[in-house]
Structure 1
């Protein structure tokens, strides 16, 4: 693919490579946050087993201090890691937006092919924002993988049965979530297309406002924009409903996984295979 007509993959790769230092820092700190999140329910289980069950005040103070230190560490990691990831996304978005504007303003930049200025403005803002968001998505994706791995290791060390429930259930949950996202992807694309068209019509009408007033064409222009705006609204509402449905189904599936972990863990605790604290840790890790 030539530099004049880059592929979508090359645009995404350039967006990430241009911010690789911030993406790497954000991923590292976000991974530390995920590890801390996994350690919190584990430490709560330790507090229950070693301090609460035995009514040991000294152990309670000690492990609460450890828990507070872990909280402070994960909070600090989240703060700095999220800032680094967001900054990588915003910087990449800005760089791409400037590149798009430079391309449009250059001779043969694409405006001669019939695209209205409003459509170009919408692409330069919304599409550039979505490309930049890939940096943040990579940060969150890798750190989530680290968190899942940490939870799986802790659960397997506690009980092989509990670990297998999570290791088998999580990929299934992710696969179902991917299937549920398909309608959202198609409707999001339609939403973007209608929003760009509405912006193009608005910019076109503003550009020709004096001419419209001179020939008395305001009512027709207003009706044209009203119809376009209604189409854009309907596309946005369809995308919002698809997103709400996907979020609700993912939450329901997550609840089923947690219920399965609680069921297996409860039976193991009743049999004496694991302690009460380990049961609490297992449910917390599943969350």
Structure 2
């Protein structure tokens, strides 16, 4: 795989059981590139390892006044120089290719997982963590994957130097063969502590990123309630914690780097001192001493890769762990029934929507409203109704016409059921592009905008549009619709959902940010536009509930009552408590009033 061939036609199925397994899977997935990098690394480091012997042979030729031998040594040095230069260039090329292709594979996997889970992803993983994985973590993972081949090539050169000296100059080669492994392995006892400090730094940085993401997302609300400074203060504290953790981590790596300088220096002094004594005793030639000295000095370069691979693994391990955690998520959480296995045939049109977990039944072609006292339960129910069961405690997805949605192919399930959650996202672009979503074609954009009561939104978009734009459909919407109010964004998102005209439409609190007059008109618009189509609205607003064909009360995770809004309001105190927000005292007084009324009527 070359950079020009990206993106991958299929990034594959990752081994997301753990961070290390994910790193191994990535390395195996680009084995060809790793072998190329290793081959060129061996050429490069092999040339580096051969330099000390060539220098030693050259010195011996000069001492012995052997011109022919000196010419051969010169040719050998030229050959080694070419190997070092060519190997270095090609090693850099293949290493960067491995880095970028590994990072691209991870990004494609994350994008595919995000598309598969949709908005349910941020219910399982914090938005800040997703941002951290898809940005900085991707680079760290790619760094480790490409550093492995360079480390193996460097290790090969170290072994080559040690073994070569044992044969070329046994008297001094023993010292070098013992000293270099000691230098290379001396930092191992410090690596666990350095890794631990790096993990702490990553954790604090992830929390700071999450806090920043949440603060920016809610900045408008924070300014409205005067909480901007409070959250900015929290971010400053989190930022200082990250800085302090980074300093502590850097200190440990500075100690490791210092050891990598001090110990080779000590080994170099030992070789010179001991070798000089051997030369004076006649047990070692000057050329052999120069070769041993050059070998130790040259080994400082490949030994740096030992420190780099330790740093790369230390930094990439928590990154790979986070990436594996995101990639291990499925539409059916662990322990749930169903799951994305072999896809089954789509159900026949006109089937009822049923949630076996709560017992909810939404008849085909009718407007069903669902009342839940627990907002979190409503969100999980909406996920299941869309075939995205993300409950941590298990449970099957919904059934449409008797077929489990989670057993359908992903595009089929999403074509049948559309779920709009509480916080829909508007992407930047024109209004025409926003409404240009896959749709049946039965609902025009104008009808959807009218049903969602977007007249004032169209006026606001035209006012902010540049000169020459006369059609509101050509007016641009800023990223996430930040130039619009919360109610305006919510109504545009509702219009986008209505224009798709799916067989089943599930709306989670679609009018929570609008005033009561607008909400009443939206309720009429939804009921009229979706007539004959299955519509499920999770809400507690009486204006929406009164327009529904039937209302279902979910209490303690199960269906507790079914009827019209007025019937349930009159007969079910639990429903009345949720819809009217009655306190326990008000409920007690209301029941007492009913009892007194019945007594008076019977008297």
TM-score normalized with structure 1 length: 0.90
Are the equivalent residues in 1 in contact too, given 2:171–2:283 (CA < 8 A)? no
Q: CA deviation at 1:3?
A: 6.7
Deviation sequence 1:97-151 (CA, Å, 0-9, x none)? 22123323432864212x4322211122333323222322221221122101211
Cα deviations by residue, 1:203-253 (Å, 9 ceiling, x for unpaired): 111111111121122211211111111111111111111111110012111
Q: Deviations over 1:78-108 (max 9, x none)?
A: 1101221221122112211221233234328
Runs of 4+ that moved beyond 4 A: 2-5, 54-62
Structure with more helix by fraction: 1
Contact 1:162 1:282 in 2 (8 A): yes
Structure with higher Rg: it is: 2
Q: State whether structure 2 residue 39 is matched by structure 1 residue 28.
A: yes
Cα deviation digits, residues 176-217 of structure 1 (max 9, x gap): 211122221111111111111111111111111111121122
Q: Please state if 1:133 is matched with 2:143.
A: yes
Residue 202 in structure 1 maps to residue 212 in structure 2: yes
Contact 2:271 2:293 in 1 (8 A): yes
Partner of 2:253: 243
Higher relative contact order (CA 8 A, sep 6+): 1
Task: Answer 1 or 2: which has greater strand percent.
Answer: 2
Is the contact between residue 104 and residue 111 of structure 1 (CA under 8 Å) also seen in structure 2?
A: no
Aligned twin of 1:89: 99
Gaps of 5+ in 2: 1-12, 298-603
Q: CA deviation at 1:54?
A: 4.3
2:241 to 194, 206, 231: 231
Aligned mates of 1:67, 1:277 — CA distance in 2: 15
1:14 aligned partner: 25
More deviation, 264-273/168-177: 168-177
Name the SS of the counterpart of 2:117 in structure 1.
Answer: coil
Alignment of 1:1-287 (within 5 A): 5-51=16-62, 53-54=63-64, 60=70, 62-107=72-117, 110-113=121-124, 115-287=125-297
The two structures have a TM-score, normalised by structure 2, of 0.45
SS in 2 for 1:107: helix
The SS at the match of 1:273 is: coil
Q: What is the root-mean-square deviation in Å for CA atoms of aligned residues? A: 2.2
> Is the Cα–Cα contact under 8 Å of residues 45 and 277 in structure 1 kept in the other structure?
yes
SS in 1 for 2:278: helix
Distance, in Å, in 2 between the alignment partners of 1:29 and 1:5 is: 31
Q: Which sections of structure 1, spanning at least 5 residues, go unmatched?
A: none
Q: What is the count of residue pairs matched by the alignment?
A: 284
